[in-house]
Amino acid sequence: MNLMNPLCVIFIAGLVMTQMAAPAAEPLHVRIDRALAQSQSGPVALPSADEEFIRRLHLDFIGRIPSAVEARAFLGDNATDKRAKVMDRLLLSPEHARHMSRTIDIMWMERRPEKHVKTADWQAYLMRSFSTNQPYDKLVAELFLADGNATTSLLPREPARFILDRDGEPHLVTRDVGRVFFGVDFQCAQCHDHPKVDDYLQRDYYGLQAFIARTTVFQPDPKYPAMLAEKAAGESRFKSVFTKYEGETRPRLYGAFESAAVDVAPGTEWVVAPDDKQKNLRPIPKVSRRAQLAAQAPANLAFRRNIANRLWWHMMGRGLVEPLDGFSADNEPTHPELLDLLASEFAAMNFDMRAFLRELAMTQLYQRSSRPPPTLTLPTPESLAALEAEAKVLAPKAELSEAAWKKAVSALNQAVTNRMLAGAELDKAVAAQGEARKALDAAAKVAADATTLVATKQDLHKVTAEAAAKAKLATDKLPADKELADAGAKFLARSLTLAAELAAAQKDSDAKTTATKAATDRFALAEKFANDNRTRWNGLDQLVLGGDRAVQVAASEHQTNQFNLAKTKRRLDDSKALAEFVPLDAAARAATASFQAADKNYAPARQSLTSLQAAIAAARDGMVAAQTNRDSTGALLLELQKQVAAKADGAKAVTDAAVLAEAARLKLPNDAELAAAAAKFKMRGEQLNAELVALQKQVPDRDSAAKAAAEKLAGAQKLLAAEEAKLPAAQKALADIEPQWKALQAAAADSKAKADAAYDRLSQRWATSMATGVFAHLTPEQLCWSILQGAGTVDAQRVAAEAEFNQKNPLPAGQPEDANRTATRLRTVEQLVNDRLKGNEAVFVRLFGGEEGQPQVDFYATAEQALFFANGGTVSAMLAPSGNNLVARLNLMADAKAVADELYLTVLTRRPVPDELADVERQLAARPKEQRVAALQEMAWGLMTSVEFRFRH
Amino acid sequence: MAAGAGALIGGLDALAAPAAVAQMAREQKRLIIVRMHGGLSQLESWDPKPNTDTGGPFRAIPTSVPGIHISELLPHTAKQMHHLALVRGINTRNDDHGKGTYMMATGRHPVPGQSFPELGAVVARAMDHSGQSLPGHINIAAGGSGGRNNDAAYLGPKYASISLGGAQPPAYTTRPAGVTDQTSQSQEDFRRRANDRFAGHRRTAETDAYVQSYEQAQELVRQREVFDLSKEPAKDHERYGSHDFGKHCLLARRLVEKGVTCVQVSHSNYDTHNENFEFHFEQLGEFDKPFATLVGDLADRGLLQHTLVVVLSEFGRTPRINQYYGRDHWGHAWSVCMGGAGLKRGAVVGKTNDNGTAVTDRQVDAGHMFHTYLRALGVNSRHHFSIGGQRIPMADPAFEAIDELIA
């Protein structure tokens, strides 16, 4: 059944012809921008500033931010073509080869752990390939062709890693080949037609699997490296677990036809045939399915779209199709015509990645700012209506083409079923033909044997008959000789038996000849039947190939319709988002303005109430103080009055006693003791009276103080009452305008929230429609190398590596360095720096990367990452002053402005704005001299962990 | 792009009322998985068959639920049976450690070329809510240096388990020497100001998530003592026991109490090809008390109604006793014990024949179990995750939950 199919070859050739567009006079980047402009419906961002551009370009071309020196050189360059010049310089640098080998490694291996091929060898292989700018299609071909045996194969062992380190698991390899090289994830199509993606058929999956399924990992002895072996036979048959539909397919790429059946004569299938007795012998088939894959892939549209999309994603931070492995009619590219332009042009430039990346970098889109467009104008109702009308025309078209496509798929399925059934019939007919042949051969042999027997018998009969005739002559002459007569009779008898035998043999021979004829007829019939079946199968095979073509045509038409519809919808949605935002924004501004106007009245009223309340509070405080004062002065007066009364009481008693004592002394004049006592009484009385007078003297003062305090209190109370009397009016004044003010405030907040939400939607649409420039996160590796660069670690290693190189390869004094030495020096230095610093990548990959074997494109923000930056020690160690690194350099700068300039240029590739300069000045001024280094480290850390550093923009 | 959609959920809690957050935190569903490595014998645990050719030497004892008997090797657990439920009709048709572990962890049969997230990651993602500052998925490991594991597949690293190596707190939660409060504050403030300035021009869900991750980190440092087992009373240390498994159960209690969504604990090793009975006697002797104490404590503290506890293994062990008094790998008729959250208490679903060689009633596979865990946690297991624009079912759509176990 293995027949060459000329039609199929023509189709594939035709496909290639249409893909290979004639080289355009205009550079690709101009055509990209034009295609983009045609599908854009709103405002676009301004061109990027030099600072934005140079940071972005370094990250995308060499995987790290530029150094301050590199940035200054570029910013200070006044040449008009400086952007193109720096692109060329970077593309030719060993760092670009390194960055691309990392990028492709992640794209292909998705951070799978090392299994059969050493990671270091694999990376060195990629580095060699990118240093010499190997074309993409050649790299992929090597990947499929390599069998891991570098000694017998023309290819190195490393590219076999793609299959080897997936353990050659056919389903895993099939799925990943589909995802990584054709941009389609057939995940579910393994067991049935994809339930969610209409154009992923089980047939697509098994068509791809047919290229892979014969390959196995060959490692009879684990002591020796594993290689790939391939079987010479085995077809891909499948059965849907849902519909129970059974199908079969020869190798077939997504969106293409079944490969031509290859006719290999039985017994010639092997270059090295398997041998049960030699288990260390690796079988090699004559026809390699992997080689067919390598040969067919580059012409396949899905293959070209996939790599164009992935490289676009690499540069623009967003795929035209996302997810990158989700290309289908149901998940339309944002810009299908652009994707097809990129796919065909990348192929037309012979899959030259450097040249292609350069074209992407040259586009206005790439060089567009990531900040929002500065001015927004409302789309006209007419333009919206036109887009609505366009969508209304396109939608039913897409529905019709979908139905047509589904019909073609079921016709194809039926054709495959018919071919399978016919294949079974053909197999039976061929077997029957074989049986008939065997029967004919057997009959012919028997007939030939019988003919031989007849001849033998004829010969014998002839001899005996002749002998008998001669004997008869003899016996006739000697009739008396009895012995002779007996002998003659014997001859005669023998001759007669032989005659009978001959007759029998002749009869048998005739019968057998007749049987042979019948067998010949039967064989002829069987042969005809087999041939008829073969013809029928061929016809049905043509129908399958025709069905494939019909499906492809229908699918392609459906895709086109679907894509056109999607494009119109996208433009419509862009316009709608803008139309939604502009009035909401205006409303928000108006609401804010009304609120601010109301606030102009409200604020003074609020202010006067507040002042009044303050005045009341102050008056109340004054009154309380006055009250306290009155109470204390009153208490003092009372206390004094009490003392006066007590003193007067005592003085009176003593004075009274003194009078009586004097009277007594006068009656007893000679009593000296009595005289002394009376004198004492008198003296004491006088003393007390004097004290009383002194106390009484204080009373007026205290009395007046108390009176003054009471007056003050009255004053304070009056003041408070007066202020409090003003309160209702002030409160009313405010209350009159407050509800309106509050309503306006709420309205402004609400309006702003709505405008913000609309803005979020609009800015997402801008990003999708590429009205704004690249905004994406750094990969773990970009983040790692940018931190190493920013901190000054890379430069320190580079200086050391340069010195090492120059020491080993001294340049005679006065002799200029030639181009060869420069190239070698740059390569060696890059290699040394990479060797010494790449160990830092692991922790970044672990913390910031996706899981092993999963797509490595998503963004993850975890607390663990932040904790690593803060407490992991790695970043703070890089920020310890050393040599000429960032913090050491900053520490030598006395002037805060110089510090700010160097810090921002080194870490964020731009100069600080005044606000930031002031911030740096404050930070430095706030800390004593001995904490200056700490302050510098804190600022460097703060910038390296900022959003601005974490993203590409 | 729905890039790392999970990362986008974290930072939107600014407006949530504190009371509502507290309420949510209290009622948040939690999950404790106890992994019995190597393959626990159902006959020496949840489905004993004493006095039969396959039963082995141990008796069956009554439990706190009349009619349910389990092996006499689990006397403490028997007293907690009214909190628990048994599934005795598991048939995973698989006797391989790797495949069995994968199936029980993901609820799916292995499909070449595809990987699915494990239960803990699925639950951490499904339960993710604002105001959560602790990691959602923790694996308490006996040793090792800790760090993130690869068990979240397409759900992304945010939901991958973080191992607490040697039951120590997560990595990088202590400040390096020489970094003072002032230094830390000053650098964080400088970073915040830089971010505020940048946000004036460009802000996306990704930048928000990045900014938020630093605030979460600060919170984690503040809450570091959540992971500090020494903060639990000495009395409890005594009740749980001084061996690793006891400590890990106590830490699991502490973590779910503090609001961690999913905690995994392991007990090793049940792969008893030789001397099955001696090994189970020893191993279950260590397992029984701390596990029963954990279940009892969760119930006493009102946590069990929000916490699902599952004791699972990669498979059971053969009813046939081999010549080394061992039992071999057996995925054709075995049991899982679980309890809490939305499960019926004291229930038994599924049955094996008299000597345990076949399931005779309500046979279930790993996929049914996975759906059941999710349903018990109040998650509609028929829902999908939206991953990079693709809808992927949370649980294998070929299976469904064991309805009669859901309360």
| pLDDT above 70: percentage of residues in chain B | 90
Cβ under 8 Å to A: B residues 146-175: 147-148, 150, 152-154, 156-158, 160, 162, 170-175
Give B215 to chain A, closest Cα distance, Å.
8
A866 touches chain B (CB under 8 A): yes
Q: Which residue has the tokens 């292995």?
A: B110
> Does position B2 have pLDDT exceeding 50, yes or no?
no
Judged by a CB distance cut-off of 8 A, whether residue A812 touches chain B is no
pLDDT greater than 60 at residue A196: no
B94-139 pLDDT, tens digit each: 888 888 999 999 999 887 667 799 999 999 998 887 666 788 889 9
Q: Do B187 and A190 touch (CB under 8 A)?
A: no
CB distance from B391 to chain A under 8 Å?
yes
Q: In this structure, are residues A717 and A703 in contact, taking their beta carbons and an 8 Å threshold?
A: no
In this prediction, residue B177 has a pLDDT band, given cuts at 50, 70 and 90, of confident
φ, ψ for residue B138, nearest 5 deg = -120, 135
Other C-beta atoms lying within 10 Å of the C-beta of residue A477: 9
Most confident residue range from A517-526, A897-906, B190-199:
A897-906
Least confident of A739-748, A853-862, B8-17: B8-17
Give the CA angle between residues A12, A557, A356 to the nearest 5°: 60
Query: ipTM of this model?
Result: 0.74
Answer yes or no: is pLDDT of A4 > 50.
no
pLDDT (average), residues A934-945: 96
Q: How far apart are CA B131 and CA B18, in angstroms?
A: 9
Kindly state the average pLDDT of the residues A206-234: 93
pLDDT at A17 exceeding the cut of 80: no
Our measurement of the distance from residue A809's CA atom to the centroid of its chain's CA atoms, rounded to an integer in Å, reads 43
Q: What is the pLDDT of residue A195?
A: 58
Provide DSSP, B81-95: GGGEEEEEEE-----
pLDDT band at A471; cut points 50, 70, 90: confident
Contact B130, B13 (CB under 8 A): yes
pLDDT digits (tens, 9 = 90+) for A655-676: 888 888 888 888 888 888 888 8
Higher confidence at residue A723 or residue A191?
A723
Q: What pLDDT is stored for residue B26 in this prediction?
A: 63
- Across the interface, whether the CB atoms of B112 and A171 are under 8 A apart is answered yes
Chain A CB contacts of B114 below 8 Å: 175, 187
* Contacting residues for B225 by C-beta, under 8 A, at least 6 apart: B231
Cβ distance A326 to B202 less than 8 Å, yes or no, reads no
Tokens of A633: 């002065």
CA gap A442, A447 in Å, rounded: 9
pLDDT, tens digit (0-9, with 9 covering 90-100), for A607-657? 999 999 999 999 999 999 999 999 999 999 999 999 999 999 999 999 888
Considering only CB atoms, which chain B residues are within 8 Å of A174? 113
Residues of B in contact with A854 (CB under 8 A): 115, 153-154
Rg of chain A over Cα atoms, rounded to whole angstroms, equals 53
Four-point Cα dihedral A376, A378, A379, A381, nearest 10? 180
A833 touches A801 (CB < 8 A): yes
Angstroms from B230 CA to nearest CA on chain A: 23
* B393 chain-A contacts, CB cut-off 8 A: none
Give tens-digit pLDDT for A409-419: 899 989 999 99
Would you state the structure tokens that stand for residue A573, as one six-digit string? 């949605």
Cβ of B217 within 8 Å of Cβ of A866? The answer is yes
The nearest CA of chain A is from the CA of B38 a distance in Å of 25
Select the residue of B112, B147, B194 nearest A946 (Cβ to Cβ). Answer: B194
H/E element holding B363?
Answer: none
3-state secondary structure of B207: helix
Strand partners, B70: B61
Query: What is the distance, to the nearest Å, from the Cα of residue A865 to the centroid of all Cα atoms in its chain?
Result: 18
Tens digits of residue pLDDT in A362-401: 999 999 999 999 888 888 999 999 999 999 999 999 999 9
**Which SS3 state, helix, strand or coil, does residue B28 take?**
coil
Q: With contact defined as beta carbons under 8 Å apart, do B168 and B146 qualify? A: yes
Q: Choose the mutation target among A172, A186, A879, A947 for the interface with B, i.e. most B CBs under 10 Å.
A: A947
Q: Cβ of B113 and A938 within 8 Å?
A: no
A767 with A365: CB under 8 angstroms?
Answer: no
Domains of chain B: 22-169+228-405 (3.40.720.10)
In this prediction, residue A59 carries a pLDDT of: 98
User: A916 vs B156: CB contact, 8 Å cut-off?
Assistant: no
- Nearest CB among B135, B157, B195 relative to A946 is that of B195
Distance CA A422, CA A427 (A): 8
pLDDT of residue B98: 84
* Cα–Cα dist A482/A479, whole Å: 7
Of A196, A371, A854, the CB nearest to B201: A371
Helices (H) then strands (E): counts for chain B? 10, 17
The helix or strand, by DSSP H or E, that contains position A650, with its residue range, turns out to be helix A482-667
Query: Which position has the higher pLDDT, A449 or A11?
Result: A449
pLDDT for residue A567: 85
Residues of B (80-139) whose Cβ lies below 8 Å from A: 111-115, 133, 135
Residues of B in contact with A331 (CB under 8 A): 389
Rounded to an integer, the average pLDDT of B269-273 is: 92
The terminus-to-terminus CA distance of chain A in angstroms comes to 58
pLDDT at residue B328, rounded to an integer: 94
A332 in contact with B at a CB cutoff of 8 Å? no
| A763 closest CA partner among A748, A773, A752 | A773
Of the partner residues B202, B388, B391, the one whose CB lies closest to the CB of residue A953? B202
Residue of A nearest to B214 (CA): A866
A235-267 pLDDT tens trace: 878 877 667 778 888 899 998 888 877 767 777
The torsion defined by the Cα of A97, A98, A100 and A103, in degrees rounded to 10, comes to 170
Of A322, A859, A942, nearest to B194 by CB-CB distance is: A942
**By three-state DSSP, how is residue B397 classified?**
coil
Distance from CA of B138 to the nearest CA of A (A): 13
Residues 907 through 926 of chain A touching chain B, CB cutoff 8 Å: 913, 915-916, 919, 923
CA distance linking residue A468 with residue A486, whole number of Å: 11
pLDDT of B195 above 90? yes
- 3 state SS of B357: coil
- pLDDT at residue B128 in the model: 81
Angle CA A788–A789–A791, to nearest 5: 65
Better-scored residue on pLDDT, A500 or A5: A500
Number of CB atoms found within 10 A of residue A326's CB: 19
- A5-15 tens-digit pLDDT: 433 333 333 33
State chain B's mean pLDDT as an integer. Answer: 88
Across residues A814-839, what is the average pLDDT? Answer: 94
Token readout for B92 is 């995973």
Q: Is the pLDDT of residue A526 over 50?
A: yes
Residue A801 pLDDT exceeds 60: yes
**pLDDT confidence of residue A328:** 78
Judge whether residue B7 has pLDDT over 50.
no
Taking the C-alpha atoms of residue B33 and residue B31, their distance in angstroms, rounded to an integer, is: 6
Determine which of A550-559, A713-722, B233-242 has the lowest per-residue pLDDT on average. A550-559
pLDDT at A40: 81
For residues A902-926, give the mean pLDDT: 96
Inter-residue contact A678 to A658 (CB < 8 Å): yes
The pLDDT > 70 percentage for chain A reads 96
Chain B residue with minimum CA distance to A324: B388
Q: Where are the alpha helices (DSSP H) in A879-950?
A: 886-892, 896-908, 914-925, 932-944, 947-950
Q: Which pTM does this prediction carry? A: 0.75
User: In A, which residues are within 8 Å of B206 by CB distance?
Assistant: 777, 859, 861, 951
Closest CA to A255 of A541, A564, A15: A15
Instruction: Give the distance from CA A392 to its chain's centroid.
Output: 34
The pLDDT score that the predictor gives to residue A802 is: 96
Nearest to B210 among A937, A942, A950 (CB): A950
Measured N-to-C along each axis, helices A50-62 and A68-76 cross at an angle, to the nearest 10 degrees, of 130
The answer to whether B4 and B125 are in contact (CB under 8 A) is no
Contact A172 B113 (CB under 8 A): yes
Q: Residue A947 is nearest to which of B10, B150, B207, comparing CB atoms? A: B207
Q: What is the pLDDT of residue A233?
A: 85
* pLDDT tens sequence across B315-328: 999 999 999 999 99
Rounded-to-integer distance, Cα A848 and Cα A861, Å: 8
In whole angstroms, how far apart are CA A582 and each of A381, A385, A768, B373?
Answer: 13, 18, 19, 49
- Smallest Cα distance from B194 to chain A, Å: 6
* pLDDT higher than 60, residue B1: no
**Higher per-residue pLDDT: B343 or A11:** B343
The answer, yes or no, to whether residue B17 has pLDDT greater than 80, is: no
Q: How confident is the model at residue B12 (pLDDT cuts 50, 70, 90)?
A: very low
Residues of chain B found within 8 Å of residue A943, distances taken between Cβ atoms: 190-191, 194
For residue A198, what pLDDT is reported? 64
Residue A863 in contact with partner chain B when CB distance is under 8 A: yes
Write the pLDDT tens digit of every residue in A528-545: 999 999 999 999 999 998
Element (H, E) at B18: helix B18-27
Q: Distance (Å) from the C-alpha of residue A25 to the closest C-alpha of chain B?
A: 35
Give how far A920 is from chain B: nearest CA, Å: 9
